[in-house]
Structure 1
């Protein structure tokens, strides 16, 4: 084959060589629309923010002619006008306005990807710590996250509040790193470590009859409806409450309504529609009271549940170390001498 026997079919993007009088394809380039480059998006955002090609060009350290040419290429590629230009002004078209927000997000995502790669290459943290604390209204998760952010400000935290039932699924599917809660339903392949044994209290309105008691025997709950989550959201908590009520010889009377979060719970408690067994709240409202439950004393075992695929990652190891430090600092694991209810202890 000689140079004269070689040709490129531009329409089909096929390089053809003649061998023995017959055409044979040497390579084929399939037409692929790669979409706008990141550089095009940066230039578009600069012009959109300055509404001036000359100012944007100075900011980008390129000539005004080069910037104008790149914007024209982008408009040609998209098939829409992004700017309305006159001799005196530049303004975004409706298409340009629609594109500005996503363009900024794309640039930010690309920059984050580059920083993540750099951190990974230098032995740093690769991504956010994804942790489900069950509820930010409860003391345990809120305290842990506050200490973790103070100790490790360089690790971004993605805080999730879906609860144990959904959290266990997320752990198994790789969508979550750490889950806080009762580990009675935790599969054997997921590591669980108890970090706090917390006695349960009863939340009521300040003017509720039970608020006058210093401690509330569990048997007294037989006369009142209890605010509980749905079994779909927190079956482990519903079972836990049913267990200590059975031990006291009573059945649970569930309030028929459902609330989401501590604010919603506080509203129905204030109206004296129900009472709620709970662990301690992070910032309890002044018009609610919380009394210890006794006879028996229910003890809730907070556990860290960790996805096996991430338990040795730097961010998860840092969280585990922080949780152990906080547990020691606040004596969260000290054995108690009172009548503890241990049937639901995740370590048993």
Structure 2
């Protein structure tokens, strides 16, 4: 039995509303449900009656709430006092993919610095997979990763998330490519070209997007190399050696007139950039301040 499961139960029991509990805890509803299910399984009793319209406590649930709620109030007060009195440098550690570092971090950091002039930032540019691991291990406070438009595995990743923006998928080819004069193409027109693919471990969202797009177009990409570094991609594509697919926001970071992007007819796939942080009812103050800024700026990012 762990404190996390009990904390989630107490919040739901007090509010009798999963949506409100999710908002108060900054944790997804599926994540809360999963922890309460684990607690019920460990105790061998049902704690909640949940329907589509209401949540009610069982007799066992009422008894448990009565006994543990005061303890949790004391724990939270103690944690809050420690967080507010401990004197330590206000350092925010951010693990991010290059796209987010260029598109979002300047505005986020500027706003946070205006609110806290003594703040310092430690930024690590890395892959989505590595950024997620750094968040799960608590080495970094917040991460920015690439996700698909149908990405639903945050619960399995043991992180919370906030989607910031979405971007359509485009084809990226050399300015000397035979299709370069067109604004839009059918992806199948590239089936005979060599593709630069993405590593499935380090850039899973980009890998799955490219693979899915090609398969939906009726072919398997002829992969000759893989990678995710923009400079490498730019050099290989500009020499008309390979083609690739990438989100438009990623393409906009490439400073080269030797490559162009082409819209994809009939393709609705998108990629998003999401902020991720540790799944915990006790969010570190460094992370909390970042999330407050993100919530305010989200519509303007």
Establish whether TM, by shorter chain, passes 0.5.
yes
Greater RCO (CA < 8 Å, at least 6 residues apart): 2
Pick the structure with greater CA Rg.
Answer: 1
Query: Relative to 1, partners in 2 of residues 1:255 and 1:312: Cα closer, same or farther, differing over 3 Å?
Result: same
Q: Please give the alpha-carbon distance, in whole angstroms, between the structure 2 residues aligned to 1:286 and 1:217.
A: 23
Match of 1:323 in 2: 294
- Rate the CA distance shift 1:313–1:302 in 2: closer, same or farther, 3 A: same
Q: Which residue of 1 aligns with 2:246?
A: 278
Q: How far, CA to CA, are the matches of 2:206 and 2:169 in structure 1? A: 11
Give the CA RMSD over aligned residues. 2.6
Aligned to 2:142: 178
Question: 2:268 corresponds to which residue?
Answer: 297
Q: Is the 8 A contact 2:112 2:293 kept in 1?
A: no
5+ unaligned residues in a row in structure 1: which ranges? 1-119, 331-348
State the SS of the aligned residue for 2:256.
coil
Q: Which residue of 2 is the match for residue 152 of structure 1?
A: 112
8 Å contact 2:166–2:273 — kept in the other structure?
Answer: yes
Give yes or no for the alignment of 1:217 onto 2:180: no
2:221 counterpart residue number:
252
TM-score by length of 1: 0.53
Structure 2 portions without partners, runs of 5+: 1-82
TM normalised by structure 2 equals 0.60
**Counterparts of residues 1-348 of structure 1 (less than 5 Å):** 126-135=89-98, 138=99, 140-153=100-113, 154=117, 155-180=119-144, 181-182=146-147, 183-188=151-156, 189-256=158-225, 258-259=226-227, 261-279=229-247, 280=249, 281-309=252-280, 312-330=283-301
How many residue pairs match? The answer is: 207
What whole-Å deviation, never above 9, does each CA across 1:293-325 have from its counterpart, x for those lacking one? 232122112222211249733332333343344
Distance verdict in 2 for CA 1:208–1:193, change over 3 Å: same
Measure, in 1, the Cα distance between the counterparts of 2:110 and 2:232: 29
1:244 Cα deviation from its structure 2 partner: 2.1
